[in-house]
Structures are given as C-alpha cells and as structure tokens.
Amino acid sequence: MHSPELLKGTLQTIVLKVLKDHGKMYGYEITQRVKELSDDRILLTEGALYPTLHKLEAEGLLKTEIVNIGKRVRKYYNLTTPGKAEARERVTEFVDFIRTMGNVLQVELS
Amino acid sequence: MHSPELLKGTLQTIVLKVLKDHGKMYGYEITQRVKELSDDRILLTEGALYPTLHKLEAEGLLKTEIVNIGKRVRKYYNLTTPGKAEARERVTEFVDFIRTMGNVLQVELS
DNA sequence: TCTTATGCCTAAGACAATTATGTATTAAGC
DNA sequence: GCTTAATACATAATTGTCTTAGGCATAAGA
C-alpha cells in the first residue's frame, strides 16, 4: 500500500478514468478494479468512494442506474457526455502534473 | 498553475529533495527554486511551507542556521543524515506511486 | 513615496480523506 | 446449522494538510 497522502486529490481522476475505460460499473466493482490494476497498492475506502461518486453525479458527470440482483441492489455508474470530457481533462492534468514533479524532483519517470 | 489537489501530500517530498539537490537553503529561496524548476506551475504558499519546515525540523530531518543579512534575518535549512535517507525514500515512494497510477489510469508517463 | 520584492511567522477555515459505524444479502467452510 | 468472509450500499466523526488571511519588517525600484 502506498503512502496514502500521495493519493489525495487523485480519487476523482481515478474514478472518472476507470469508468471511461470499463464503462458501466458499480461502487464495489470500482474498488476491486482499482485494487487489481494497482496490484493491491491502491485500496479505495468506501468512506471516500461513495461520497465522491455522489458528488460527481451531482455535478452531472455521472449518471446512475439501479439494478436488482436477487434481493441485493446494485447502483451502476456511467459517464455522461460532460463526464467523458472531464475524464480526458483530468488525465491530461495528471500527466502534466507528473511531468512537472519530475522536473522539480529531478527524476526520470520511465 | 496546477490543480492544487494533486499537489497534496507532495510538499514534504519536494522540500526534502530540493534541499538534497541544492544544499543549504532558506524558506523563501525554496519557494523560488520550486517556482523556477516547475516553470511557474508550483507556487508554494508560505502558510504551507513554514509549518512543514518546522515539522521536518522537529522530526530531526532538518537542521537550521540563522544568518543576519544586514538587518534582515535568514533561516537556513539543511538536511541531517536521517533527512538525506528520508529524502531518498520519499522520492522512491513517489516514483513507485506514479508507476502505479500509470497502470490504473492506463497512461504512458514519457 | 508607493509598490513590489524579500523574509519570517501564525491562525482560521475549507476540504478530502480515514476511521468507525450501520444495515443487509450471499457464499463458503466447518 | 452456524459462523465467517465477501458482497453491496451508505453516513458521521474525526484527522490532517492545505489555502486563505492575517501580522511584522527591510530593501529596492519606479
């Protein structure tokens, strides 16, 4: 697990990009996908994830769809059109940030 | 200027690494060096920098030296031996984090 | 002389995350 | 049949880092 401080500020970017790459997903699924993609290094906590999903939805970047699986409820999230644009921007912004940090820290980012 | 959220958690790493690369520096000088290295994209605020310097000093990672320049006072900071080790670790940690994020976001980090 | 730059610092508040809960269903092990 | 782990949603209290807003003072340039 990574030093958690570095993760701060990246959650929305992660959620938007993962949804962009994988399409319709529900909360728990997102945590598992990120765990998998990060090789168990990024473990999203529910206390952070759900408020973030709700916030992105309130901003119109995500839309939801509730599906019943037996007696259990799943809430699927997907990007809206503005959400897709936002995902692109966030990733670009992140990459730019990393380049800048590479200069400041004088490191090569393979 | 970058989205400030992404910067969160990176301040200590920046301070430690810049001091490692440039040796003895004072607070204001650090802000200017980072501004320069980042091409004006990272502007450290004093309200964040000074508490961080004091904290790192309290942890024994930095040592200080006060110098009078005319009537003005400069407080130089430099890494201690544990501080140098910590700087190395923080940078390694940051690079690892970036690699992980590259996988999660599915982006190439040149 | 007024603004900008240099130089240190602290305090209040915002914000995002962690930690701690709460509720409930389903599958697996014993 | 019972217990535990996994699945699945969610909120609330707290923590920590940062921004914003102050405060004080010297030096240089227009």
Nearest Cα neighbor of B46 from B28, B68, B19, B73 is B28
The predicted-structure confidence for B25-83, as pLDDT tens digits, reads as follows: 999 999 999 999 999 999 999 999 999 999 999 999 999 999 988 888 899 999 999 99
Residue A109, domain member (yes or no): no
Minimum CA–CA partner of B4 in chain A: A9
Residue B100, domain member (yes or no): no
> In the structure, how far is the CA atom of residue A106 from the C1' atom of nucleotide D24, in angstroms?
36
The label of the residue with tokens 């529910």 reads A46
- Check if the beta carbon of residue A58 is closer than 8 Å to that of residue A42: no
Residue B101, domain member (yes or no): no
| DSSP designation for B13 | H
Residues of B in contact with A99 (CB under 8 A): 110
Q: Is the pLDDT of residue A72 over 90?
A: no
Residue A28, domain member (yes or no): yes
Q: Is the pLDDT of residue B3 over 90?
A: no
The predicted-structure confidence for A79-88, as pLDDT tens digits, reads as follows: 999 999 999 9
Residue A80, domain member (yes or no): yes
Residue B34, domain member (yes or no): yes
Q: Name the domain count of chain B.
A: 1
Average pLDDT value for residue range A81-101? 95
Computed over every residue of chain A, the mean pLDDT equals 93
CATH classification at residue B59: 1.10.10.10
The predicted-structure confidence for A35-64, as pLDDT tens digits, reads as follows: 999 999 999 999 999 999 999 999 999 999
Domain span at A73: 4-103
Pairing, β A62-69 against β A25-26: unpaired
